[in-house]
Amino acid sequence: MSATGQEKDLTPPEISARKGKAPLVCLTAYTTPIARLVDPHCDVVLVGDSVGMVLHGLPTTLGVTLDMMIMHGQAVRRGLERALMVVDMPFGSYEESPEQAFRNAARVMAETGCAAVKLEGGEVMAETIRFLTGRGVPVMAHVGLTPQAVNAFGGYRVQGRGRDAERIRRDALAVAEAGALAVVLEKVPETLARGITEEIAIPTIGIGASSACDGQILVVDDMLGLFGDFRPKFVKRYAELGQAAEAAIATYAREVKERRFPAAEHVFGEGPKTVNGEEAA
């Protein structure tokens, strides 16, 4: 069963209707196997542009292309049965104009089968969000720390402290009024995230924000302990699969060098053994 107990794909209106109700469970996914693992437990699966750093070794998300997002979106779509799939619009694919954003969002939806796209920015992107939603493209917004603006921010710093809180609040209000189905609040003070959640009419999805948000999202490789280049404060490691994988690989390498692998049970004899007339494994 899915996180909501439903047996069909969740829709954008159903996600929006979860405002103030049971928290939305959200994770990223970039591949079919991971999508299959997270689907029974998640309401929203985001094909995030974090794929550039997590799987492609890029230093930031800025080098991610539209073709990369579509390829990973297609892979994730094959692994989902219930969760709502959202695909990130990469840097440079939507900022120029609402028309550019629509062309690229329409391509992403057509080629991946996703139900919504996500784009970064608050007040400055409100017109684009209104343009897209008015033309049948559901949009998840993203304010606070927006990784595509890392150079403008001077790094991955907390946003919305002190007087800057009003800027983040205005951004959240603007995207809600423009028709976004939900908004990600990233790396903002807890009290600010709590206040925004109480004020706006659409669900807030926190990442480094507040437990009072209407949902939470993490990068799946972070929470599984598979990505170790850096470890944000807001990430809880629910497993250390990277360490387990490294240990397994080291054991394999040792057994190969010692000629302990493959063993007799892993190789084949001269003639096939048969069981009831059929070749056995």
Q: What is the pLDDT of residues 229-263, one digit of tens each?
A: 777 889 999 999 999 999 999 999 999 999 999 99
Q: What is the mean pLDDT of the chain?
A: 94
**CA-based nearest residue to 23, from 3, 7, 38, 8:** 3
Residue 38 has pLDDT above 60, yes or no: yes
Query: Which of the following is catalytic: 111, 120, 127, 186?
Result: 186
pLDDT computed for residue 81 by the predictor: 97
pLDDT computed for residue 271 by the predictor: 74
pLDDT band at 7 (very low <50, low <70, confident <90, very high): low
Residue 1 has pLDDT above 50, yes or no: no
Q: Alpha-carbon distance 78 to 113, whole Å?
A: 10
pLDDT band at 5 (very low <50, low <70, confident <90, very high): very low
**Which residues, 6 or more positions from 95, have their beta carbon under 8 angstroms from its beta carbon?**
101, 121, 125
* pLDDT: which is higher, 17 or 227: 17
* pLDDT: which is higher, 185 or 153: 185
pLDDT band at 277 (very low <50, low <70, confident <90, very high): low
pLDDT band at 275 (very low <50, low <70, confident <90, very high): low
pLDDT computed for residue 150 by the predictor: 87
Summarize pLDDT for 39-83 with one digit per residue, the tens.
Answer: 999 999 999 999 999 999 999 999 999 999 999 999 999 999 999
Whether residue 189 is preceded by a cis peptide bond, meaning omega within 30 degrees of 0, is no
Is residue 186 part of the annotated active site? The answer reads: yes
Residue 270 has pLDDT above 90, yes or no: no
Burial class (CB in 10 A: 0-12, 13-18, 19+), 35: buried
pLDDT computed for residue 155 by the predictor: 82
Q: What is the 3-state secondary structure (H, E, C) of the chain?
A: CCCCCCCCCCCHHHHHCCCCCCCEEEEECCCHHHHHHHCCCCCEEEECCCHHHHCCCCCCCCCCCHHHHHHHHHHHHHCCCCCEEEEECCCCCCCCCHHHHHHHHHHHHHHHCCCEEEEEECHHHHHHHHHHHCCCCCEEEEEECCHHHHHHHCCCCCCCCHHHHHHHHHHHHHHHHHCCCEEEEECCCHHHHHHHHHHCCCCEEEECCCCCCCEEEECHHHHCCCCCCCCCCCCCCCCCHHHHHHHHHHHHHHHHHCCCCCCHHHCCCCCCCEECCEECC
pLDDT band at 227 (very low <50, low <70, confident <90, very high): confident
pTM exceeding 0.85:
yes
Residue 164 has pLDDT above 50, yes or no: yes
